């Protein structure tokens, strides 16, 4: 199991485009992925789960990957968050 | 024969497609065979997904981003888990399960504070509606793919409807609600589609598949036209076509009177995609680009980058011709989903346009920076709306200077001597035109609002619409003051209201010395033709005569007589 902490930098939170980018990216990996934001636990493979969490800019998030490709998954996810999902 | 108000000229024949919101009764039932019910739901759901995938193929840009997220929501298993659960475990019928299951998801989003997220509840409600329509075997119309010669009949078309509408195959539009300047009417005129509005109960009287003929000038609708009627209408259609061909001669020619007095003939546009029609009609520039499209079509405040790209696109396409971009003009009758404004007793006299921008510097500066950056790619000029005093002009210019300094510090290039002008649409501005002209580079008279504020008649109020007239001598005096004020200071004065393309009004405006006429692109050629048949001197005489009159009726009569004598 791998965990990593990131800060959500997108000014408008995880809106349509970044949320769909996150879903697409997460769906590529076989491992289980969870994102924790305080009390909330999000399944990033589900766009509804991401959107209904209503994450705003500057929230601290904990990414947890567990499974065979956890190493690549966590690296790519952290990178995507730091790149603001290309915004 | 049905009658309404013609808002876009032309004659067309076609088959009716009625768009209406259906009311459904959803019963709660227990089914014996949940497997079968689940299959029924899955089929309906998959059909909706397939339709969406179909639509996405033709999209790009922001629209594509939004629809992709919409599709992903549909593909998310948690969207339908509750619905499936209600069918499988509680044996409910598919219709009830969809209603309840989707509502539970909608609720999660509705309660969110974030405006954008709350708006997603509408997407999910839309998905629910489309599934239910399938389950009820309702005929739904995919308005982005229509049969040729379709005449759309609706209570009202929303902005999103017109955005999706397959204009190639629409030969007419009939609505129950709307006016000459409603969004649908403007779109219809832009696409040269005959349109009629204010047709009472149109969606009840006309049925899908009815064969009808419409006359967009007179606002007449013929259900199953007789041979005689058809013949009459075809003749009219030919005549209109002939007139249009006649106008072809004026493509690309200079705009000047018979005796060689030149004026600028430019276009009013609402989105970058209108540039195509502007070029087709050989307008000499853009006299008014309404920047609201960026804000109205968006789910959140458009970023500097988004705005910059749009302005740059127009500037580049216009290849050095002047493009006057008006800064955000919202408030009053135009609202934004993501900017909560308090309801006001008198919105037209309230918190709108430049007043709102000067109070929300974040919004204003984002736009000004985007405009400045784009000015490096073409001939952009900035225009402030709703200026009522010289202080507002100074304040707005001060903010512009701040933005220039910021860009200087960031080493971002822009046109240093970018032209700055104002709309003259408030009587107080027209009356101090001389002073205002000393501190800006051009005027553009917005007659639609100027009339409203001069005669104290709200534009949209039908009961008093007779009092709303551009022929009122007071309105003409204000136009004269504005033009003279501009000329005294050596700057140019344009007009971007409806009056600038009015056959009766053009001779008067030439006589008053107006320099630039800005209008819907489809009126360019006709106006060029009108101007080429005038002589400057006779127009000056006409203006003198009109300025002596005291009643609107007399003004109209004198202008009519002048045109008839020609």
Cα(B228)–Cα(B211) distance, integer angstroms: 15
Neighbouring residues of B254: CB distance < 8 A, sequence distance ≥ 6: B262
Write out the DSSP string of B402-422.
Answer: HHHHHHHHTT----TT-EEEE
pLDDT higher than 60, residue B160: no
Report which of B324, B333, B371 is spatially closest to residue B352, judged by C-alpha positions.
B333
Confidence band of A54 (pLDDT split at 50, 70, 90) = confident
Q: With contact defined as beta carbons under 8 Å apart, do B530 and B549 qualify?
A: no
Burial B220-241 (b: 16+ CB within 10 A, else e): bbbeebeeeeeebbeeebeebe
* pLDDT, tens digit, 9 for 90 and up, residues B29-60: 999 999 999 999 999 999 989 988 887 887 77
Active site residue A15: yes
Q: With contact defined as beta carbons under 8 Å apart, do B369 and B406 qualify?
A: yes
* pLDDT, tens digit, 9 for 90 and up, residues B299-350: 788 889 989 999 999 999 999 999 999 999 987 666 777 787 888 888 889 9
Half-sphere exposure of B312 (CA within 13 A, CB side): 14
Mean pLDDT over B478-483 rounds to 98
CATH of the domain at A73: 3.30.1340.10
| Mean of per-residue pLDDT scores for chain B | 90
Question: What pLDDT shows up at residue B385?
Answer: 97
Q: Which residue out of B403, B440, B496, B539 is catalytically annotated?
A: B496
Cα(B376)–Cα(B418) distance, integer angstroms: 10
Cα(B462)–Cα(B64) distance, integer angstroms: 39
Question: What pLDDT shows up at residue B503?
Answer: 95
Question: What pLDDT shows up at residue B159?
Answer: 60
Six-digit token string for B26: 């959803």
Q: Which helix (H) or strand (E) holds B237?
A: helix B227-248
pLDDT higher than 60, residue B512: yes
Chain B stretch 251-310, residues whose beta carbon is closer than 8 A to a beta carbon of chain A: 299-300
- B109 contact A CB<8A: yes
A vs B: CB pairs below 8 A = 50
Burial of B77 (0-12, 13-18, 19+ CB in 10 A): exposed
Across B156-194, the runs of DSSP E, i.e. the strands, are: 170-175
pLDDT higher than 70, residue B142: yes
% of chain B beyond a pLDDT of 90: 67
pTM of the model: 0.65
Confidence band of B427 (pLDDT split at 50, 70, 90) = very high
Question: What pLDDT shows up at residue B63?
Answer: 64
Question: What pLDDT shows up at residue B183?
Answer: 67
Cα(B329)–Cα(B349) distance, integer angstroms: 13
* pLDDT, tens digit, 9 for 90 and up, residues B61-72: 666 777 787 888
Residue A73 belongs to domain spanning: 2-86
Mean pLDDT over B482-504 rounds to 95
Burial of B172 (0-12, 13-18, 19+ CB in 10 A): buried
Q: What structural domains and CATH numbers belong to chain B?
A: 2-20+142-242 (3.50.30.10), 34-135 (1.10.274.10), 249-539 (3.20.20.60)
CA A8: distance to chain centroid? 9
Using an 8 Å CB-CB cutoff, list residues of chain A that contact chain B. 12-13, 15-17, 19-20, 23-24, 46-49, 51-52, 54, 56
* pLDDT, tens digit, 9 for 90 and up, residues B236-291: 999 988 988 899 999 999 999 999 999 999 999 988 878 888 998 999 999 999 99
Report which of B522, B563, B546, B516 is spatially closest to residue B263, judged by C-alpha positions.
B516
When divided into structural domains, chain A yields a total of: 1
Check B65 against A16: CB less than 8 A apart: yes
Cα A36 to Cα A50, A75, B191, distances in angstroms: 11, 17, 51
Cα B177 to Cα B125, B198, B204, distances in angstroms: 25, 5, 14
Considering only residues B143 and B235, tell me which one the structure prediction assigns the higher pLDDT: B235
Cα(B247)–Cα(B426) distance, integer angstroms: 35
Check A46 against B299: CB less than 8 A apart: no
CA B388: distance to chain centroid? 25
């Amino acid at each position: 199991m791998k965990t990593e902490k990131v800060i959500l930098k997108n000014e408008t939170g995880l809106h349509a485009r970044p949320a769909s980018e996150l879903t697409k990216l997460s769906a590529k990996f076989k491992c289980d992925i969870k994102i924790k934001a305080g009390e909330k636990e999000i399944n990033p493979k589900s766009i509804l789960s991401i959107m209904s969490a209503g994450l705003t800019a500057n929230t601290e998030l904990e990414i947890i990957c567990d499974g065979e490709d956890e190493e690549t998954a966590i690296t790519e996810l952290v990178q995507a968050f730091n790149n603001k999902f290309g915004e | 024969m049905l009658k309404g108000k013609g808002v876009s000229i032309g004659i067309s024949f076609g088959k009716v497609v009625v768009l209406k919101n259906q009311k459904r009764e959803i019963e709660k039932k227990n089914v014996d065979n949940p497997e079968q019910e689940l299959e029924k739901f899955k089929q309906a759901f998959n059909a909706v997904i397939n339709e969406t995938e179909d639509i996405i193929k033709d999209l790009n840009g922001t629209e594509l981003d939004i629809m992709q997220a919409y599709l992903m929501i549909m593909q998310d298993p948690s969207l339908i888990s509750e619905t499936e659960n209600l069918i499988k475990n509680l044996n409910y019928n598919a219709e009830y399960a969809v209603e309840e299951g989707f509502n539970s998801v909608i609720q999660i989003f509705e309660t969110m504070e974030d405006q954008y997220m709350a708006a997603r509840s509408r997407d999910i409600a839309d998905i629910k509606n489309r599934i239910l329509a399938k389950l009820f075997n309702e005929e739904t119309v995919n308005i982005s793919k229509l049969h040729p010669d379709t005449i759309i009949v609706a209570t009202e078309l929303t902005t999103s409807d017109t955005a999706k509408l397959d204009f190639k195959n629409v030969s007419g539009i009939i609505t129950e609600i709307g006016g000459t300047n409603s969004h649908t009417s403007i779109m219809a005129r832009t696409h040269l589609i005959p349109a009629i509005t204010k047709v009472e109960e149109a969606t009840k009287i006309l049925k899908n598949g009815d064969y009808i003929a419409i006359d967009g000038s007179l606002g007449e609708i013929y259900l199953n036209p007789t041979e005689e009627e058809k013949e009459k209408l075809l003749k009219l259609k030919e005549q209109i076509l002939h007139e249009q061909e006649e106008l072809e001669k004026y493509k690309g020619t200079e705009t000047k009177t018979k005796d060689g007095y030149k004026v600028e003939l430019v276009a009013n546009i609402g989105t970058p995609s209108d540039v195509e029609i502007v070029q087709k009609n050989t307008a000499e520039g853009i006299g008014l680009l309404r920047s609201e499209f960026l804000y109205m079509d968006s789910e959140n405040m458009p970023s500097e980058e988004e705005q910059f790209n749009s302005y740059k696109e127009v500037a580049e396409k216009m290849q050095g011709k002047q493009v006057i971009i008006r800064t955000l003009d919202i408030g009053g009758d135009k609202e934004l989903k993501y900017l909560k404004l308090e309801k006001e007793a008198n919105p037209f006299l309230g918190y709108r346009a430049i007043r709102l921008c000067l109070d929300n510097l974040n919004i204003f500066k984002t736009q000004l920076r985007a405009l400045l950056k784009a000015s490096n790619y073409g001939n952009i000029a900035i225009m402030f709306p709703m200026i009522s005093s010289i202080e507002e002009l100074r304040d707005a210019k001060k903010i512009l200077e701040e933005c220039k300094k910021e860009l200087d510090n960031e080493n971002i290039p822009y046109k240093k001597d970018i032209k700055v002008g104002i709309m003259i649409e408030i009587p107080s501005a027209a009356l101090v035109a001389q002073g205002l002209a000393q501190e800006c580079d051009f005027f553009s008279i917005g007659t639609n609002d100027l009339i409203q504020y001069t005669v104290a008649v709200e534009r949209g109020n039908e009961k008093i619409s007779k009092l709303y007239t551009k022929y009122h001598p007071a309105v003409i005096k204000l136009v004269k003051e504005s033009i003279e004020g501009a000329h005294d200071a050596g700057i140019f004065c344009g007009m971007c209201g409806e009056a600038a393309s009015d056959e009766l009004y053009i001779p008067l405006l030439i006589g008053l010395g107006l320099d630039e006429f800005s209008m819907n692109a489809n009126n360019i050629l006709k106006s060029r033709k009108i101007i080429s048949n005038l002589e400057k001197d006779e127009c000056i005489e006409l203006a003198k005569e009109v300025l002596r009159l005291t009643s609107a009726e007399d003004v109209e009569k004198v202008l009519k007589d002048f045109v008839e004598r020609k």
